[in-house]
Amino acid sequence: MAFFQRFASLSAYRAAGCKAHMCDNNIGSSTSHGLGFLDVEDVGCCQDAHLGSQSYHLDFFVVTHAGLLEVRTKLAIDQAHSRKVLNTSEAQVAELSPPPASIDLAERPMPAPAPTIGFPASICLRKLSRICLRSVGGAMMIPWRLQAVFFLALVGREKNMEGGSCSGLEVKLPIIMTQPCMNITNLPAPLLRRDKDAITSRSNKDLLKFNGFEIGRFVFRFLFPVTMPHIVLLGTLDTKLPEILYLHSRLLSLAQPETTITLIDCGRTSVEHTAITISQNELVTRFGPKDGRNTLKDLPRGEAIKFMISCTTLCIEELRKERPIHGIISAGGSGGTSLASAVMRTLPIGLPKLIASTVASGDTGPIVGETDITLTYSVVDIAGTNELLKTILNNSAAAMAGMSAAYEQQLLQQSETTQDRWKLRIGITMFGVTTPCVDKIREHLQSNHPVETYVFHATGHGGKAMERLIAEGRLDAVLDVTTTEICDLLMGGNMSAGPDRLEAALKAGIPTIISLGATDMVNFGPKATVPEKYQQRKLFEHNPTVTLMRTTKDECKAIGEFIVDKVKRFATKPSMVQITLPKGGVSMIATPGAAFEDRDADDALIETLTSGLQDTGIKIVLDERDINDEGFAVDIANDLLGLIHLR
């Protein structure tokens, strides 16, 4: 709310500068194209302008001021496109003369408050409704060049400004940031004013009719990359209140100005403190079942944690609908870490996630899963603050402050170029023993085609991560070169990706090629940790911490049956699926003369696949070369491009 309070305090300030007027105050009912000027700092001069019922297109030349800058921007509104703002163009920036030294303070430039970047316009309007601001200025990019970026939020309302839901005209963001700007302290001020005239939208017949305090309005502001992150802090405050409050204080101190910290109490019992944003009582009442509070107190510890995970996850989903979250952080022991990590794993990959935990130095696979959670080992228990723990919590807060600010900037500035955004995103699975193949594929694709490759280390979590990104629509095609995780699933190795492996791409119907990389092996830890039943098998020490076991003929048949079953059950577009079988060896240690050479086992796998997928419409390619042959790698990459072109 600090942002809106700052706007309220500035609302009396007025702008000096040129005024522009509608050059055609009444655009008739048979007009197909209108043209006019609108000064957002003096909307009252345009009260009679409206667009007739038969009009389809209206161009506005909007003139607004930010500090000593005057910006003219052409806006296009099209009735045939659901009354959306279609685009802006012809942005021009001019530097005005400074006001005389004697001018009233209200006319002088002031430091610019951060805009509500990332908020839907309807939310901004609801929160500003009591302030009655008619136009919201922002800060321009520096130096003064043709780098103006303009945002138009066109919102209609069914009720008056004191309440009611937002509806009517829709919001569109047609402009992308082009350059970063200087620090906020160097930016000119927004020029705000309170005015009785608001811009109104009612119907197709009166699309743009300016009638004072009626229901709709334009909200204009400039976008600029000012850091204003939103960080969520999770804590079980019934057991970790002092430690979480210290972390909260460090976040406030270290984060960028205007950063919002939302503290959520995820404990089993309720705690009261002024720093808490969402209390445990509110969390359970709003996001748990009706009898949740009575149920929670009787649950065993493990079940209580699951209950709070559910409530907190729903709460985070609701928060993300209201405004973006740019980072989430927690600190705790095993229970708090289990709770926080489960919530964090539901959030998008890329959004910063950090836990200071007492269990961060053990087996962290179940904590991190397929996501990008950052773990900091607390060294001492999180039970009472001391100099060492304060240092670690301070470092954690500093890391989150930096990550959240960088993430917010990345989202705001749209750092990818247009060319990068149009690149095909191809997922590829890789293992150490298939690295030459994947390296050649990447080199061939990226050197000759507009693609971006995402390589996943097939260690179990790598396969899970790829499956997740496919399900989220963040990959356009898949070269599943290395399917070794299936071996670990079936034979009890350490690197299983779970029973859902292969399903996401087949369900999505995206171009997919499946091969047999590293299906000659099952992964275990140091040799002494290999299960007793496998101790007499053919073993290979890949490195001091990884021992490989060669798959047998029967095990290879089981692997083939698994792949056949997945393809038959989940391939929604068989024409987009290809199985490529390297008969010369499925890894660098399965080639003739190598440690895991076993032609009978490989042939059993290939035969299971070819016979099982007959008459399914799935293309099967038999290749005499081994998987790391450069020609094999280039051909399989070209085959995927062929599927993409057929899509």
Q: What is the 3-state secondary structure (H, E, C) of 547-580?
A: EEEECCHHHHHHHHHHHHHHHHHHCCCHHHEEEE
Is the domain of 342 the same as that of 426? Answer: no
Is the domain of 486 the same as that of 425? Answer: yes
Last residue of a domain, one of 201, 222, 243: 222
Give burial (CB, 10 Å; 0-12/13-18/19+) of 535.
exposed
d(CA 335, CA 119): 34
Total H helices, total E strands in the chain:
17, 21
Is the domain of 170 the same as that of 35? Answer: yes
Is the domain of 216 the same as that of 265? Answer: no
> Which pLDDT value is given to residue 94?
56
CATH number, residue 364: 3.40.50.12020
d(CA 327, CA 347): 10
Q: Is the pLDDT score of 80 beyond 70?
A: no
Last residue of a domain, one of 205, 222, 239: 222
> Which pLDDT value is given to residue 645?
85
Element (H or E) spanning 71, and its range? Answer: strand 69-78
d(CA 239, CA 268): 9
Overall domain count for the chain: 3
Q: How confident is the model at residue 121 (pLDDT cuts 50, 70, 90)?
A: very low
Is the domain of 389 the same as that of 480? Answer: no
Last residue of a domain, one of 168, 196, 222: 222
Q: Going by DSSP bridges, is the β-strand pair 150-157/166-167 parallel, antiparallel, or unpaired?
A: antiparallel
**At 51, phi and psi to the nearest 5?**
-105, 125
d(CA 550, CA 590): 9
Q: What is the mean pLDDT of residues 449-459?
A: 94
The 10s digit of each residue's pLDDT in 400-419 is 999 999 998 888 765 444 44
Is the domain of 554 the same as that of 434? Answer: yes
Q: What is the mean pLDDT of residues 106-128?
A: 34
The 10s digit of each residue's pLDDT in 543-576 is 888 999 999 999 999 999 999 999 999 999 999 9
Please give the order of strands across the beta sheet that includes 327-332: 260-265, 230-235, 327-332, 353-357, 373-377
Is the domain of 321 the same as that of 402? Answer: yes
d(CA 441, CA 515): 13
Q: What is the 3-state secondary structure (H, E, C) of 337-401?
A: HHHHHHHHCCCCCCCCEEEEECCCCCCCHHHHCCCCEEEEECCCCCCCCCHHHHHHHHHHHHHHH
Domain residue limits at 641: 418-646
> Which pLDDT value is given to residue 93?
53
Q: Is the pLDDT score of 91 beyond 90?
A: no
> Which pLDDT value is given to residue 136?
29
Is the domain of 165 the same as that of 309? Answer: no
Is the domain of 529 the same as that of 488? Answer: yes
Q: What is the mean pLDDT of residues 287-297?
A: 79
Is the domain of 406 the same as that of 307? Answer: yes
Which tokens sit at 183?
Answer: 């620090």
CATH number, residue 521: 3.40.50.12030
Q: How confident is the model at residue 259 (pLDDT cuts 50, 70, 90)?
A: confident
Cα angle 19, 150, 176 (rounded to 5 degrees) comes to 165
Q: What is the mean pLDDT of residues 277-294?
A: 87
Q: Is the pLDDT score of 352 beyond 90?
A: yes
Q: How confident is the model at residue 421 (pLDDT cuts 50, 70, 90)?
A: low
Q: What is the 3-state secondary structure (H, E, C) of 481-537?
A: EECCHHHHHHHCCCCCCCCCCCHHHHHHCCCEEEEEECCCEEEECCHHHCCHHHCCC
d(CA 359, CA 470): 31
d(CA 386, CA 348): 34
CA atoms within 13 A on the CB side of 507: 12
What pTM was computed for the model?
0.63
Is the domain of 474 the same as that of 554? Answer: yes
Is the domain of 450 the same as that of 335? Answer: no
